[in-house]
């Protein structure tokens, strides 16, 4: 059994953190679905926009939207991105149907500049949801304070959400609480509770930030410890009376999604984070290079346990070396949001240059 199938049988979903028109048209994505048990996909405007700005692969689509009067760079990028997202969603539709709506999702993100604007995030997410018109498309919203306000309202409206830029157990718990409140609001209105939602926890960025301050025996382990703490919280939540009442009424768990799982330390194996995050009822989204590496030489699968005590001991050791976990989590979230926003601004400038060349009037 190949390594990706082993993960699938261990109860974890493999999603691809990448998309472009070429992999849709040349059969690459369909091949990953058939051969590597891929059951979903995440994306963001930066990933798609870079593909649009480079080369000529998107020139035809860009010209068509320009001719239709779509000239504002941000709207142009999102409109073209939706073409890829909906095409990918159609490829994953069998996984969505076969899992009863548990798996088979594709994500598209609101523009990064909205991370601190709940009202604008809600407005854009509604539009993306309406334009995608696919039950298996999730809208990505950052887990900032404003983002969680937006997420709660959107889930209340029945819109599936992927909450991103989560870094700590505190972030996860805040996200889970917002999700529960949204479901309870829907329940009071007699609306169905089967609204899909995932919580994306970034892993490897912890080690990039903390390893320079840690002794050798603790390096490369902080991200995994935080993920372990989050997983323990997730499993504990599912045992509560509050969740039992929602589940009995048709609610589905907000699954954890491990993001930022490509290895950034050259001293670690290229499948390091995937190897150590094989937790049942979770998702691992990974870049194409990491997916192919794992398919080639990953495993064997050792299921991750919900061991909060072990995670707490390790985090205490890290704190003993002067690292404030909560403060670093907040810093990582802010830096992540700023980096995405900077990438987005650069992208829009590149798209403006590109469209001027395609349609110089």
* Cβ-Cβ contacts under 8 Å for 251 (sequence gap 6 or more): 183, 193, 194, 243
pTM metric for this prediction: 0.96
User: Sorting pLDDT into bands at 50, 70 and 90, what band is 227?
Assistant: very high
- For the segment 65-92, what is each residue's pLDDT rounded down to a tens digit? 999 999 899 999 999 999 999 999 999 9
CA separation for the pair 295, 37 (Å, rounded): 10
**Residue 94: Cβ within 10 Å count:** 12
The answer to whether the CB of 195 falls within 8 A of the CB of 160 is: yes
**Residues labelled catalytic:** 140
Mean pLDDT of 218-228: 97
Identify the residue with better confidence: 180 or 45. Answer: 180
Name the residue ranges covered by the structural domains of the chain.
3-358
| pLDDT tens digits for range 108-154 | 999 999 999 999 999 999 999 999 999 999 999 999 999 999 999 99
Domain 3-358, CATH number (from 2.40.160.20, 3.20.20.70, 3.10.20.740, 3.30.70.20) = 3.20.20.70
Tell me: pLDDT of 360 over 80. Answer: no
- Torsion sign (Cα): 15, 18, 19, 23: negative
User: DSSP code of 212?
Assistant: G
SS3 128: helix
Alpha helices in the chain (DSSP H): 3-9, 21-25, 28-36, 45-53, 59-67, 73-98, 118-132, 145-156, 169-188, 204-210, 222-237, 241-248, 272-276, 288-297, 308-319, 325-358
Cα–Cα distance for residue pair 264/283, rounded to 1 Å: 20
3-state secondary structure of 176: helix
pLDDT tens-digit map of 33-72: 999 999 999 987 677 777 888 788 899 999 999 999 998 9
Torsion of Cα atoms, 262 then 97 then 188 then 245, to 10°: -70
Residue 52 has what pLDDT? 81
* Cβ neighbours of 69 (radius 10 Å): 7
């Amino acid at each position: 059994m190949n390594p990706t199938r082993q993960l699938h049988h261990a109860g974890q979903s493999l999603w691809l953190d990448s998309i472009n028109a070429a992999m849709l048209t040349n059969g690459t994505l369909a091949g990953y679905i058939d051969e590597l048990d891929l059951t979903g996909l995440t994306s963001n405007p930066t990933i798609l926009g870079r593909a649009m700005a480079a080369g000529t692969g998107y020139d035809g689509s860009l010209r068509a939207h320009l001719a239709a009067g779509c000239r504002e760079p941000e709207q142009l990028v999102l409109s073209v991105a939706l073409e890829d997202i909906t095409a990918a969603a159609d490829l994953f539709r069998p996984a969505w149907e076969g899992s009863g709506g548990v798996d088979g999702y594709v994500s598209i993100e609101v523009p990064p500049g909205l991370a601190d604007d709940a009202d604008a995030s809600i407005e854009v997410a509604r539009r993306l949801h309406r334009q995608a018109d696919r039950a298996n498309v999730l809208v990505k919203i950052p887990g900032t304070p404003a983002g969680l306000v937006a997420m709660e309202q959107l889930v209340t409206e029945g819109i599936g959400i992927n909450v991103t830029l989560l870094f700590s157990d505190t972030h996860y718990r805040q996200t889970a609480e917002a999700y529960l409140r949204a479901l309870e609001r829907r329940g009071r209105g007699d609306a169905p509770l089967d609204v899909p939602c995932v919580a994306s926890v970034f892993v490897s960025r912890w080690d990039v930030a903390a390893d320079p301050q840690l002794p050798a025996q603790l390096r490369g382990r902080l991200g995994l410890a935080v993920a372990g703490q989050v997983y323990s919280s997730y499993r504990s939540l599912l045992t509560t009376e509050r969740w039992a009442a929602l589940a009995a009424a048709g609610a589905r768990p907000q699954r954890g999604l491990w993001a930022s799982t490509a290895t950034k330390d050259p001293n670690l194996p290229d499948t390091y984070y995937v190897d150590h995050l094989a937790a049942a009822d979770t998702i691992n989204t990974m870049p194409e290079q990491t997916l192919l590496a794992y398919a080639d030489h990953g495993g064997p699968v050792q299921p991750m346990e919900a061991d909060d005590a072990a995670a707490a001991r390790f985090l205490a050791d890290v704190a003993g070396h002067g690292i404030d976990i909560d403060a670093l989590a907040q810093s990582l979230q802010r830096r992540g949001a700023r980096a995405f926003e900077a990438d987005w601004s650069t992208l829009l400038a590149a798209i403006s240059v590109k469209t001027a060349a395609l349609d110089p009037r």
